């Protein structure tokens, strides 16, 4: 029954039998058989076709909602009690963090805790957090400052500065009583959910109007478009540095500056585990120096 519910959850996220099978490392027919067995046990349809994809019925959604806390707790209990899993840490990390300073930071933490087996998965922040909720991942390192249920918490780590990559890398000054059109991240991104009200409030304080001209799904793409003259790009400092853009060529915002919150998200019981406490402690000490340091070639 448990593996059948896991299959239903995978199918809900993947949208097709083939993709769900790939994720679970089983055949498409095995996915179909598990879903059929679950539907027979429940006495109702749990999935329905939509074109070439499938989606959960109301009964399927209700089943996952009711079983999700149990499944997450079960996976965590197995991880805690299994000697093989004791030093294994499965985390999700924001793609923009991993592609900038995150890899360097995690390499340092892994070196400091040699007994830890670190399994890294890259996602957008909301997806990584969803995997923590479901019990698939133990932690998520992402752009976040949310409030969750009592069993899931967000531990702030650092505020990463946001900067402007000037169009064509041609420097300019932010002047009062002006409008600055920018290319920025898509509206549903965790970073933008945090930045939007901050920009609105600080624009009044600075007397500078930041206007969204275009949105993209990738900070790296925004920085590259700005570099090539498509417009000014609003990106995290780490992304600009990772792409080799000189700090001298970046535009900083007036005081108090603009930043995005970086946090470690996990279940309260997960944070209590010794290996996680060590990981969290070293991560907090390592991130600021790696984020704020400026490589010699930049």
What pTM, to 2 d.p., does this model score? Answer: 0.73
Domain 88-157+261-292 grouped into CATH 3.40.190.10: yes
Torsion angle of alpha carbons 167, 217, 157, 241, nearest 10°? Answer: -30
**Residue in the structure block whose two tokens are 């909720």:** 133
Report pLDDT for 6.
Answer: 83
Strand partners, 182: 212, 232
Structure tokens at 2: 């448990």
Span 26-67, pLDDT tens digits:
888 889 999 999 999 989 899 998 888 999 999 989 998 888
Report pLDDT for 71.
Answer: 73
Structure tokens at 84: 């093989």
Report pLDDT for 18.
Answer: 87
Give me the chain's average pLDDT, please: 88
Among the ranges given (162-171, 257-266, 288-297), the one the predictor scored with the smallest mean pLDDT:
288-297
Architecture of the 161-260 domain:
3-Layer(aba) Sandwich (3.40)
Between 9 and 163, whose confidence is greater? 163
Instruction: Look at residues 267, 166, 150 and name the one whose alpha carbon lies nearest to residue 223.
Output: 166
Span 144-166, pLDDT tens digits:
876 666 678 899 999 999 999 99
The dotted CATH code for 2-66 is: 1.10.10.10
Report pLDDT for 70.
Answer: 75
Topology alike, domains 88-157+261-292 and 161-260: yes
Contacts of 113 (CB under 8 A, 6+ apart): 275, 278, 279, 282
Instruction: Look at residues 88, 243, 96, 94 and name the one whose alpha carbon lies nearest to residue 165.
Output: 243
Cα 120 from Cα 82, distance rounded (Å): 20
Cα 61 from Cα 8, distance rounded (Å): 9
What does the domain layout of the chain look like in residue ranges? 2-66, 88-157+261-292, 161-260
Cα 211 from Cα 8, distance rounded (Å): 43
Q: Work out the angle at residue 121's Cα, subtended by the Cα atoms of residues 94 and 159, and round it to the nearest 5 degrees.
A: 25
């Amino acid at each position: 029954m448990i593996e059948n519910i896991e299959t239903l959850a995978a199918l809900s996220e993947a949208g097709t039998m083939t993709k769900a099978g790939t994720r679970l490392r089983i055949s498409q027919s095995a996915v179909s058989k598990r879903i059929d067995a679950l539907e027979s046990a429940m006495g109702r349809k749990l999935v329905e076709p939509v074109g070439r994809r499938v989606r959960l019925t109301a009964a399927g959604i209700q089943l996952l909602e009711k079983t999700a806390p149990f499944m997450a707790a079960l996976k965590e209990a197995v991880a805690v009690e299994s000697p093989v899993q004791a030093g294994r840490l499965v985390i999700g990390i924001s793609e923009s963090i991993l592609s900038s300073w995150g890899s360097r930071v995690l390499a340092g933490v892994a070196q400091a805790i040699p007994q830890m087996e670190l399994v890294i998965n890259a996602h957008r922040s909301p997806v990584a957090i969803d995997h923590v909720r479901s019990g698939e991942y133990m932690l998520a390192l992402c752009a976040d400052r949310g409030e969750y249920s009592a069993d899931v918490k967000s531990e702030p780590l650092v505020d990463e500065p946001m900067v402007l990559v000037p169009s064509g890398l041609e420097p300019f000054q932010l002047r009062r009583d002006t409008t600055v059109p920018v290319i920025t991240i898509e509206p549903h991104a965790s970073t933008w959910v945090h930045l939007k009200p901050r920009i609105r409030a600080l624009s009044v304080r600075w007397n500078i109007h930041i206007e969204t001209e275009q949105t993209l799904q990738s900070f790296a793409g925004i920085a590259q478009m700005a570099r090539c003259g498509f417009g000014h790009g609003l990106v995290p400092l780490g992304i600009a540095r990772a792409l080799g853009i000189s700090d001298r060529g970046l535009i900083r915002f007036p005081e108090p500056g603009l930043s995005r919150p970086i946090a470690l998200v996990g279940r309260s019981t997960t944070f209590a585990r010794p290996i996680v406490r060590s990981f969290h402690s070293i991560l907090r000490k390592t991130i600021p120096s790696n984020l704020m340091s400026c490589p010699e070639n930049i």
